[in-house]
């Protein structure tokens, strides 16, 4: 795609429309997103973050972060939950990935899943180590039972621009490589920004396979609404362009969702000066934030963006989903698509 075409996309801009809200202290469901789900099994409160969705074996699988459990018999720290659905709307918990290695003994979270040659590769971060947190890898045949990489953690960044921390993994195949996007912080641990590494698609994605592809951030906070944080990248390809949905602002500042575009996956330009998806109005389910996007494309080409949100400053966290439309290669939000939810997948597909 030439520069003229990119400039035309950037010039389109965006008119942000907020979903209808409600007043008072009604339940979160009163703000009427078509999907609103959370797992309350860990501490009795609905609390799920960092959604990532794939299709496998005739069902959709949702990977998400779970908070520390109040059950003292379980390993301490954050963990990863797995839910399944026939239609992207109704979800049932199907499994967990708990701390099991020395590197994740304090917790693990922020999962990213991809299916490569029939196997599910899960990338996730350690939790609780501050600047020492890093990206780990596990693989599964069924999407539920995972074998962890013995070399975990498989990646952390290097250079005087970063603290060495790596969180919020996103992977995307491009050419013969798998690109690994990550969020990191500056050496003072104040500003969150994005970097990228790569490994050959035919590799095992263990620690030795990864090569850092940047000597500085590929995207850092610059707009007022991004404050001091850009994180949680999630990619999709449209024609010859790559689109990155990302979160700006730390949790509940509020965090909101933006979009950037790239031809090569390394150099990125923002599409909009304002959030693509802002936090909700007072009383909405996402009044405190709409954050940590996870984009998913169905086999028939529809685009869904899964998000996290809450309205109580993080006491609870819900997962929801918006359908994304495309107009002249510009994404926009179908706030109330009458074709969502999805039809169930055919049995055995």
Range in 10-14, 165-169, 186-190, 201-205 with the lowest mean pLDDT: 10-14
Mean pLDDT of 29-47: 84
* Residues 221-247: b if buried by 16+ CB within 10 A, e if exposed: beeebbbbbbbbbbbbeeeeebbbbbb
Q: What is the pLDDT of residues 241-253, one digit of tens each?
A: 999 999 999 999 9
* Residues 72-84: b if buried by 16+ CB within 10 A, e if exposed: eeebebbbbbbbb
In eight-state DSSP terms, residue 91 is -
Q: Is the pLDDT of residue 29 over 50?
A: no
Tokens of 237: 């390809």
Mean pLDDT of 144-160: 98
Instruction: Indicate the pLDDT class of residue 257, thresholds 50, 70 and 90.
Output: very high
Mean pLDDT of 65-81: 95
pTM greater than 0.85: yes
Q: What is the pLDDT of residues 273-282, one digit of tens each?
A: 999 999 999 9
Q: Is 30-334 CATH 3.30.1490.20?
A: no
pLDDT of residue 42: 95
CA–CA separation, 146 vs 189, rounded Å?
Answer: 32
Give the CA angle between residues 25, 29, 30 to the nearest 5°. Answer: 55
3-state secondary structure 281-342: CCCCCCCCEEEEEEEEECCCCCEEEEEEEECCCCCCEEEEEEEEEEECCEEEEECCCCCCCC
Mean pLDDT of 296-318: 96
């Amino acid at each position: 795609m030439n520069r003229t075409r990119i400039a035309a996309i950037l010039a389109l801009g965006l008119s942000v429309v907020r979903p209808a809200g409600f007043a008072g202290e009604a339940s979160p469901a009163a703000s009427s997103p078509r999907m609103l789900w959370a797992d309350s099994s860990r501490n009795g409160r609905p609390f799920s973050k960092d959604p990532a969705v794939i299709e496998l074996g005739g069902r959709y699988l949702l990977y998400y972060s779970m908070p520390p459990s109040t059950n003292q018999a379980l390993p301490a720290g954050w963990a990863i939950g797995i839910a399944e659905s026939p239609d992207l709307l109704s979800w049932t918990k199907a499994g967990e990935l708990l701390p099991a290695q020395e590197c994740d003994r304090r917790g693990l979270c922020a999962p990213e899943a991809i299916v490569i040659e029939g196997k599910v590769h899960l990338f996730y971060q350690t939790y609780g180590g501050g600047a020492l947190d890093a990206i780990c890898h596990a693989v599964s045949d069924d999407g539920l039972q995972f074998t962890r990489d013995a070399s975990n953690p498989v990646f952390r960044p290097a250079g005087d621009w970063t603290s060495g921390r790596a969180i919020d993994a996103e992977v995307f195949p491009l050419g013969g490589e798998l690109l690994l996007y990550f969020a990191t912080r500056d050496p003072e641990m104040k500003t969150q920004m994005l970097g990228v590494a790569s490994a050959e698609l035919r590799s095992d994605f263990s620690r030795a396979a990864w090569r850092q592809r940047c000597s500085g951030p590929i995207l850092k906070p610059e707009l007022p609404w991004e404050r001091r944080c850009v994180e949680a990248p999630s990619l999709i390809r449209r024609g010859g362009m790559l689109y990155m949905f990302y979160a700006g602002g730390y949790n509940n500042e509020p965090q909101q969702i933006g979009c950037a575009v790239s031809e090569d996956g390394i150099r990125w330009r923002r599409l909009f000066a304002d959030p693509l998806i802002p936090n909700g109005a007072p009383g909405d389910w996402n009044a405190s934030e709409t954050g940590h996007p996870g984009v998913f494309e169905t086999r028939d080409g529809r685009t869904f963006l899964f998000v996290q949100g809450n309205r109580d400053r993080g006491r609870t966290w819900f997962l929801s989903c918006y359908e994304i439309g495309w107009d002249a290669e510009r994404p926009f939000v179908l706030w109330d698509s009458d074709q969502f939810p999805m039809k169930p997948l055919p049995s055995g597909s």
